[in-house]
Amino acid sequence: MFTKTTAFVSIAMLAVLLSACKKEPPKCSDKETLTLVRTIILDQVGGAGNLNEKEIEETVKLEHPRASAYDDKIGKYSCEATLVFANAWRLPTIKYESQLDDDQKHLVMVGGFLRGDLWRMASALQGVKEKKAMEKEEND
């Protein structure tokens, strides 16, 4: 009897330990996730150029990030946020996903932009870069 109880407790503890090893992906509002979303968006519209991290956060604002779904079988958050780009243009809902791959590397996928959206963002980003260049010239 003692052996069966010990075996049962050991199996139960192993199950708890194994379930604890499964790591969840960063949530939709985590800083790491939002930084990757900003990077992907900027890469799609021509890159951040010489903007620093603070300027990138001010240029690509993600308001009200939220999970719209969670798939626990594959550990993936489906997310939505409001995009405010360069304080000049607003997209009410963008969609992105946060997931860990088999090596526990954080993957973020962003999609749902139309060609016109990307063009508007590229134009607004160019304005931000030009403004920064003019300010630098004035300070030199």
Give the pLDDT of the chain (140 residues) as one tens digit per residue.
444 443 333 343 433 333 445 588 999 999 999 999 999 999 999 888 888 899 999 999 999 999 999 999 999 999 999 999 998 889 999 999 999 998 999 999 998 788 899 999 999 898 888 888 888 888 87
Residue 18 has what pLDDT? 39
Sheet holding 76-85, edge to edge: 60-71, 76-85, 89-100, 106-111
Residue 3 has what pLDDT? 46
Query: Could you tell me which residues come within 8 angstroms of residue 5 by beta carbon, excluding any fewer than 6 positions away?
Result: none
What values do phi and psi take at 24, rounded to 5? -85, 150
Residue 10 near residue 3, CB atoms below 8 Å: no
Q: CB count, 10 Å around CB of 122?
A: 15
Residue 21 has what pLDDT? 52
Residue 8 near residue 81, CB atoms below 8 Å: no
Residue 22 has what pLDDT? 54
Q: Which two tokens stand for residue 70?
A: 């969670």
Asked whether the whole model's pTM tops 0.75, one would answer yes
Q: Which two tokens stand for residue 54?
A: 């603070």
Residue 109 has what pLDDT? 97
